[in-house]
Copies of this chain bind each other. A is one copy, B any other.
Amino acid sequence: MANIKDVARLAGVSPSTVSRVIAGSSRISPETQARVREAMRALNYYPNANARSLVRRKTHAIGVIIARPAEQAFANPFFPEVLRGIGSELRRHGYDLVLSMTAAPDEEQGACMRLLKQRRVDGVILTSSRAHDELLTELAAEQYPFVLIGRAAPGQAVSWVNNDNVAVGEMAVEHLVGRGHRRIAMINGPADLTVSIDREQGFRQAVDRFKLDLPAGYVVEGDFTKDGGYRAMAELLSRPDPPTGVFCADDAMAVGALMALKERGLTRRVAVIGVNDDPLTALLDPPLSTVRIPVFDLGATAARLLLDSLTQGVRGPRQIVLPSQLVVRESTNWVVGGGN
């Protein structure tokens, strides 16, 4: 394959000159530039990225680490959408994207540090909702550019972009209260995920604000799967004081919850709202109300943050919260005691 020397020879110049033409240096005469470009075209020349990265100490690529433990279960469009968002932003700057999907949480740190220390990438985007303090502090300690999709512990001085999970919980409860509900339960995700923690906090804040009862056991822990939602709803319904409205921390669990209701003919007795706006949930019977999360933008924003610090030299951690949006459909669109 042609290298820079071949181009130089064909154009009758030195490799330095070719390199400068590629870099767009202004100190090269127009005629020479034309000759060099012509030679590059003739030889179908592409600069070797490895050689270039070696001397420049920049790879022009960023790593994306996707943790897929239990979250993988919800086969919703989160994962591809966030990648699309990242990709669209990277393309605009000519950056490449190396993807690392880790199955087990303990692979995460290794994969991440390997990409960086081997100089395969200039920085990383980490998508995960578990609190890996160790990884974050190692990244920060070595001054590696990175941004988290999700959020870090309050103290951590790291960059992240997240959606407003507390508001998500509040909006859901607010909506249900607006429809006349007073007995509202929550089916949450695994307790160690920040999404679960935040959504529950929002839920509880709204419950307090509206002075609702919150009997013990009204917040049950699911696992972000349909079956988990089914079981959780069954548990809630078997109580002496079942709720009339249920906020599920994810659409998959909401779907399971709806199944449980349907089996018991309680579809119009208990309102269900989820989170994520999985496209197909609009077609269920009843169509599922939900809180839509700006997944694409999460990815795009994370990429922009990272590129800013890489190319503009923006220093210091930045944290961005993107708003989510209530989507009302039939599963909650009726009023308690409305005689339906």
- Residues of A participating in the B interface, judged by any CB pair closer than 8 Å: 1, 44, 46-51, 53-54, 59, 61, 64, 68, 75, 77, 79-80, 83-84, 87-88, 96-101, 103, 113-115, 117-120, 226, 255, 258-259, 278-281, 283-285
Q: A50-B51, A50-B53, A97-B99 are in contact. List 18 more A-B contacts (CB 8 A).
A: A44-B117, A46-B114, A46-B117, A48-B54, A48-B119, A49-B119, A50-B54, A61-B98, A61-B120, A68-B84, A79-B80, A83-B101, A87-B101, A97-B98, A226-B279, A255-B283, A278-B280, A283-B284
Q: Measured between alpha carbons, how far is A98 from B90 in the docked complex, in Å?
A: 13
Find out whether the CB atom of A98 lies under 8 angstroms from the CB atom of B99.
yes
Find out whether the CB atom of A98 lies under 8 angstroms from the CB atom of B100.
no
Q: Measured between alpha carbons, how far is A127 from B194 in the docked complex, in Å?
A: 35
* Chain B residue, CB-CB nearest to A56: B50
Chain B hits for A79, CB < 8 A: 80
Minimum CB–CB distance for A274 against chain B, Å:
12
* Chain B residue, CB-CB nearest to A49: B118
Q: Measured between alpha carbons, how far is A22 from B306 in the docked complex, in Å?
A: 32
Chain B hits for A53, CB < 8 A: 50
Q: Given A96-B98, A97-B99, A284-B283, is A50 in contact with B59 using a C-beta cutoff of 8 Å?
A: yes
Q: List 5 A-B contacts (CB under 8 A).
A: A1-B117, A44-B117, A84-B101, A96-B98, A255-B283
Find out whether the CB atom of B96 lies under 8 angstroms from the CB atom of A120.
yes
Chain B hits for A113, CB < 8 A: 46
Q: Measured between alpha carbons, how far is A48 from B118 in the docked complex, in Å?
A: 5
Chain B hits for A119, CB < 8 A: 48-50
Q: Measured between alpha carbons, how far is A283 from B115 in the docked complex, in Å?
A: 41
Find out whether the CB atom of A46 lies under 8 angstroms from the CB atom of B118.
yes
Q: Measured between alpha carbons, how far is A97 from B121 in the docked complex, in Å?
A: 12
Minimum CB–CB distance for A184 against chain B, Å:
24
Q: Measured between alpha carbons, how far is A299 from B101 in the docked complex, in Å?
A: 14
Give the 5 A-B residue pairs with the shortest CB-CB distance, closest first: A46-B117, A280-B280, A49-B118, A50-B53, A285-B285
Chain B hits for A96, CB < 8 A: 98, 100, 115, 120
Chain B hits for A80, CB < 8 A: 75, 79-80
Chain B hits for A54, CB < 8 A: 48, 50-51, 54
Residue from the list B46, B87, B103 in contact with A99, Cβ < 8 A:
B87
